[in-house]
Amino acid sequence: MISKHDLQRLSEFVWQVPREYRGDMRAPARIWADEDLLDDALQDKSVEQLINTATLPGIVKYAIAMPDLHQGYGAPVGGVFATATSDGVISPGAVGYDINCGVRVLASQVHANEIRPHLGNLATTLYRNCPSGVGVSGTVNLYGDDLDDILNRGADWTLERGYARMEDLPHTEEYGRIPYADADMVSDKAKERGRDQLGTLGAGNHFIEVDRITAIYDEDAARVLGLFENQVVVQIHCGSRGLGHQVCQDYVDRFQRVVKEYNIVLPDRELVAAPFASPEGQAYVGAMGAAANFAFANRQVLAFHIRRSFAEVLKGHVKNFDLHQVYDIAHNMAKVEDHDVEGERMQVLVHRKGATRAFGPHSPVLPDDLKEIGQPVLIPGSMGTMSFILCGTAGSMAQTFGSSCHGAGRVWSRHRAKKEIRGEKLRAEMQERGIEVRAGSLSGLAEEAPQAYKDVARVVQVVDAAGIGRRVARLEPMAVVKG
Amino acid sequence: MNRYEELDHTADWAFRAFGNDLKELFENAAYALFALEGALDAQSTLTREIRVAGIDREALLVNWLSELLFFQETKRETYQTFNITKLTETDLEATVHGAQTQPITKFIKAVTYHDLKIEQKEKSWEATVVVDV
């Protein structure tokens, strides 16, 4: 197994696995971490998985690991790499099963103390209005071509149907609509899995959280985003549900059949890849875009349910409870983007698995009101601890293909968490600290215990200090809703 | 012989299934999937026929387990007994018995190829599988 001695320290927070480390590497691999986070990452197969991504044909510059790096399958979680669209590959397994898993933050104008007396009721209402858990249907009935329409048009569909407000869309990555999405590239099986899942949270590490802002680090950016201390905000963490899982499954299987024809040799079959420009590669691009649109629409419908829950509970009791959209980001996605590679502007496909796009100020893809501060980056921490809002920087553009971390990153296996943590006790501890918990599964709760994760504050500190993101605000939980 | 054992994996779940022959190995891998989900207690009240293909033995195992997850999610069923009636290098046919979904404690999103191994030991077979949860 790789050890610290195999790494070159390029700067305080950047460590490099040289290309010579393994014969099949086509580029070096770089890890953004402090020494402790690096030690964590070296304990499992994360770094080996990172090195595997550096073998993919057409990779440019270097493969990247964020400070929240941990072991996944295929590409590690917290992994970023870019392949040339001209002669590089696309890998469905390096995007992951939950295509466009992501985070949305909504903000009220209310102070935390104002909603405190209504918090229990609010948590219960959110749990009731936002379907969660295993095998639970959504509240939106889809007819005829509705599903194809959602897959092709994402948030635009939700706007037409009254689930979105016009101003939500510019504050969504890609305006909530991937332009190259193609519903025809999504199998009937995937559509069958997704048909009744629009506006559902799912299970696992997905959640809705009511938070209060406990620190502002960047007053200017906070003002632009409408954030202030002690403000009540809401986070949504979920993705494309069964539809996205099936799209990934379908294309991992389809690519297994063609990988030999393209003479692509891989160290891990889960990384299976096809040339971006090939018919198979383009089919996956269309299907992935469609699954991503489903995820944008899913989080939008959940935002609609959250807004009506706030109205249901708080109307007549508190003023200014209405929620505006701060931003919505994807953290499992591959995107066609232009980046500087060895002094030249180049079109690349940036794979981000458990990593967030973090475009710096003046990026042409940002709406005018966000141009000065850069793209908001939403970082949920482990349950019951804290989360962060950051902004992208010029540093992330130069160093990490405009990418940043996505969360805390696991250190314990779910198996260990389940053995060592009791869900009832964890819930009682959170309740004692004034956090309302509504969870469908107590063993599911135990797996997400904060002890099972890295310290998100430390992860974000490294991101900030290394210049690949800038801290704007810290969030702490008031109520947690989970499947 | 144990039918399966759970293995440690930081972010996801992994298990090793055992079998005296390949058929039993594939059946026990399916059993492990539903055992990990805590979905085995129900009385079997329904039967489903499964047919899958794959480019090789490993792909066949992934597709077999994935097909069961597909039916679990779309038909809201869980399965307890698995009877493979045909197994070649690239094709599998099976009859499975289960019930309408009982409360499930955990949900497996997908079966991956990561670290996937099917090995013949002295007198038995073993398969290692990592699943995304």
CATH code of the domain covering residue A245: 3.90.1860.10
**Residue A150 in tokens:** 């959602």
| Complex confidence, ipTM | 0.94
B52 min Cα distance to partner chain A (Å): 12
B128 residue type, one letter = T
User: What mean pLDDT is predicted for residues B3-9?
Assistant: 89
The pLDDT value recorded for residue A463 is 98
The pLDDT value recorded for residue A117 is 97
Q: How far is CA A337 from CA A55, A271, A274, A347, A359, in A?
A: 21, 21, 19, 6, 11
The pLDDT value recorded for residue B102 is 67
- Cβ pair B12:A73 closer than 8 A: yes
Q: Which residue of A has its CA nearest to B66?
A: A249
Instruction: Determine the Cα–Cα distance for residues A406 and A459; give it in Å rounded to an integer.
Output: 9
Number of H helices, E strands in chain B: 2, 8
End-to-end, the C-alpha distance of chain A in Å comes to: 37
pLDDT-derived band at B103 (thresholds 50, 70, 90) equals: low
A270 touches chain B (CB under 8 A): yes
A92 touches chain B (CB under 8 A): no
The pLDDT value recorded for residue A138 is 87
Q: Would you give the distance in Å from CA A453 to the centre of its chain? A: 16
Is residue A85 assigned to a domain? Answer: yes
**Residue A268 in tokens:** 């891990």
pLDDT-derived band at A410 (thresholds 50, 70, 90) equals: confident
Contact residues for A245 (Cβ-Cβ < 8 A; gap 6+): A97, A98, A193, B109, B110, B132
Q: Which residue of A has its CA nearest to B108?
A: A204
User: What mean pLDDT is predicted for residues A15-23?
Assistant: 98
Is residue A447's pLDDT more than 90? no
Is residue A150 assigned to a domain? Answer: yes
Is residue A429 assigned to a domain? Answer: no
Percent of chain A's residues with pLDDT above 70: 100
User: What mean pLDDT is predicted for residues A26-31?
Assistant: 98
Instruction: Determine the Cα–Cα distance for residues B98 and B77; give it in Å rounded to an integer.
Output: 7
- Condensed to tens digits (0 to 9), the pLDDT of residues B83-97 reads 999 999 999 999 999
The pLDDT value recorded for residue B13 is 86
Secondary structure E strands in chain B: 4-7, 13-19, 46-53, 77-87, 91-100, 110-111, 117-120, 125-132
- Condensed to tens digits (0 to 9), the pLDDT of residues A100-120 reads 999 999 999 999 999 999 999
pLDDT-derived band at A190 (thresholds 50, 70, 90) equals: very high
Is residue A215 assigned to a domain? Answer: yes
- Cβ pair B70:A189 closer than 8 A: yes
Least confident of A346-355, A423-432, B40-49: B40-49
Helices A279-314 and A146-153 pack at an angle, to 10 degrees, of 100
Is residue A416 assigned to a domain? Answer: no
Question: Is A406 considered catalytic here?
Answer: yes
Q: Would you give the distance in Å from CA A424 to the centre of its chain? A: 28
Q: How far is CA B20 from CA A437, B15, B17, B117, B130, in A?
A: 46, 17, 11, 16, 21
b/e per residue A386-410 (b: at least 16 CB within 10 A): bbbbbbbbbbbbebbbbbbbbbbbb
The pLDDT value recorded for residue A206 is 92
Domains of chain B: 4-132 (3.55.10.10)
b/e per residue A159-178 (b: at least 16 CB within 10 A): bebebbbeebbebbbbbbbb
The pLDDT value recorded for residue A366 is 97
Instruction: Determine the Cα–Cα distance for residues A54 and A59; give it in Å rounded to an integer.
Output: 7
- Which is nearest to A50 in space by CA: A100, A85, A16? A16
Mean pLDDT of chain A: 96
Percent of chain B's residues with pLDDT above 90: 75
Higher pLDDT, B103 or A413: A413
Instruction: Determine the Cα–Cα distance for residues A354 and A104; give it in Å rounded to an integer.
Output: 15
Cβ-count burial of A324 within 10 angstroms (0-12 exposed, 13-18 middle, 19+ buried)? middle
Ramachandran region, residue A101 (left: φ > 0; alpha: ψ -120 to 50; beta: rest): beta
- Cβ pair B110:A415 closer than 8 A: no
User: What mean pLDDT is predicted for residues A195-201?
Assistant: 94
What is the number of residues in chain A?
Answer: 483
CB atoms within 10 A of CB A417: 21
Is residue A372 assigned to a domain? Answer: yes
Global model pTM greater than 0.90:
yes
- Expressed as residue numbers, the domain containing A176 is 4-411+453-482
Task: Work out how many domains chain A is built from and give that number.
Answer: 1
Q: Which residue of A has its CA nearest to B58?
A: A269
Of B59, B66, B70, Cβ closest to residue A256 = B59
Is residue A433 assigned to a domain? Answer: no
**Residue A303 in tokens:** 């935002």
Is residue A390's pLDDT more than 70? yes
Is residue A473 assigned to a domain? Answer: yes
- Cβ pair A441:B66 closer than 8 A: no
Cβ-count burial of A432 within 10 angstroms (0-12 exposed, 13-18 middle, 19+ buried)? exposed
- Condensed to tens digits (0 to 9), the pLDDT of residues A235-272 reads 999 999 999 999 999 999 999 999 999 999 999 999 99
User: What mean pLDDT is predicted for residues B68-91?
Assistant: 94
In this structure, the strands spanning A29-32 and A63-73 are parallel
**Residue B97 in tokens:** 């018995």
